[in-house]
Amino acid sequence: MTQRPPYLAGLIGTGVGPSLTPALHMAEGRAQGLEYVYRTLDLNVLGLSPEQVGEMLTWARRLGYDGLNITHPCKQLVVGHLDDIDASARTLGAVNTVVFRDGRAVGYNTDTTGFAHGFAEGLPGAATGSVVLVGAGGAGTAVADALLRLGTAHLSIVDLDVDRASTLAHELTDRHPDARVEASSFDKLSVLLPNTDGLVHATPTGMAEHPGVAFDTALLHPDMWVADIVYRPLDTALLQAARAAGCRTLDGGHMAVYQAVDAFALITGVAPDAARMSAHFRDLVS
């Protein structure tokens, strides 16, 4: 029997040196008995521009890579260099995982599938009919699409950058015509939150370098759930306030782990042990 060569994967982006993703993938590979090498491919270190992501894909394929994760600032740029793209990634116009299979480069977005899988695991049975999303950036966009696939019928989007929230609301309305998606302002939260099933926070506020909470937590109430996608730290000031208000909560580790779980499965074709990857992730960030 011929043995397959070690799995080979990498993460393309800028400032990816401290990423936890290589450690997560390789530890799961070892636990599965796979030889699995996962490298960071930092554009700054390599002296490459984001626009050269297509060349990097060509070389990765020639060099025998099985797959790549793609992060800032290449998630949109990479789309034009693929042979095929999964439907949810196509809808988003952003790809964070590329798999080389049968000579073809196929793009996926495991940020959006990862949020959905993490949500289902961490907040089972939670109502999703009406949701407020705070933060309309790259991560917020992936979360919004996941929520609409999870059945959200009314999505309100709030961002400091009002134009960004409006643009996202228009794009989502085009993609999900059955849902009501609207941009809203911070002063409307006092009207929106009493009637919402839940809130997802997707701005950098609450990260170690941006402490605090993006809105007035006095508006939280026990009939709503609160999900934060910030995961450094895992227990943010928002989640502490939400627990104190009696809300069910979901930390950002769920999305972070499941984007890696889904990418591992796509790159290796082997189903990872999500609980083991989650325990490893929580060790790494604690």
Write out the binding residues for shikimate: 19-21, 71, 96, 111, 231, 259
Give the number of residues in contact with ligand NAD, rule: CB under 6 A. Answer: 25
Instruction: Give the side-chain half-sphere CA count within 13 A for 124.
Output: 1
Q: What letter does residue 227 receive in the DSSP assignment? A: E
When asked if residue 138 is in the footprint of ligand NAD (CB under 6 A), the reply is yes
CB 143 within 8 Å of CB 199: no
Q: Minimum CB separation from ligand NAD for residue 5, in Å?
A: 30
- Provide the residue count of the chain: 286
Neighbouring CB atoms inside 10 A of 50's CB total 17
188 catalytic residue (yes or no): no
Question: Which stretch, 44-52, 177-185, 187-195, 225-233, contacts ligand NAD (CB under 6 A)?
Answer: 225-233
Q: Minimum CB separation from ligand NAD for residue 220, in Å?
A: 16
The token pair at 143 is 């979360």
Taking CA atoms, 177 is separated from 39, 156, 171, 174, in Å, by 41, 15, 10, 6
Neighbouring CB atoms inside 10 A of 42's CB total 18
- The correct pick among 79, 99, 136, 277 for binding ligand NAD (CB under 6 A) is 136
Q: Bridge-partner residues for 156, per DSSP?
A: 132, 182
When asked if residue 198 is in the footprint of ligand NAD (CB under 6 A), the reply is no
The token pair at 41 is 């491919």
- The correct pick among 133, 193, 214, 239 for binding ligand NAD (CB under 6 A) is 214
Cα 254 from Cα 120, distance rounded (Å)? 10
Residue where the block lists tokens 């083991």: 276
When asked if residue 161 is in the footprint of ligand NAD (CB under 6 A), the reply is yes
The token pair at 19 is 């990423």
The token pair at 242 is 């939400």
DSSP-derived secondary structure for 61-95: HHTT--EEEE-TT-TTGGGGG-SEE-HHHHHHT--
Neighbouring CB atoms inside 10 A of 86's CB total 20
When asked if residue 144 is in the footprint of ligand NAD (CB under 6 A), the reply is no
User: Judged by CB, which is closer to ligand NAD: 5, or 284?
Assistant: 284
When asked if residue 29 is in the footprint of ligand NAD (CB under 6 A), the reply is no
Site string for ligand NAD, 241-260 (x = CB under 6 A): -----------x--xx--x-
When asked if residue 163 is in the footprint of ligand NAD (CB under 6 A), the reply is no
**Catalytic residue (choose from 75, 117, 248, 280):** 75
The token pair at 223 is 């009939």
CB 122 within 8 Å of CB 248: no
- The correct pick among 36, 231, 264, 281 for binding ligand NAD (CB under 6 A) is 231
When asked if residue 97 is in the footprint of ligand NAD (CB under 6 A), the reply is no
Instruction: Give the side-chain half-sphere CA count within 13 A for 194.
Output: 3
When asked if residue 123 is in the footprint of ligand NAD (CB under 6 A), the reply is no
Q: Minimum CB separation from ligand NAD for residue 10, in Å?
A: 18
User: Judged by CB, which is closer to ligand NAD: 17, or 129?
Assistant: 17
User: Judged by CB, which is closer to ligand NAD: 13, or 107?
Assistant: 13
List the catalytic residues: 75
List contacts with ligand NAD (CB under 6 A). Answer: 111, 134-140, 159-161, 164, 202-205, 207, 214, 229-231, 252, 255-256, 259
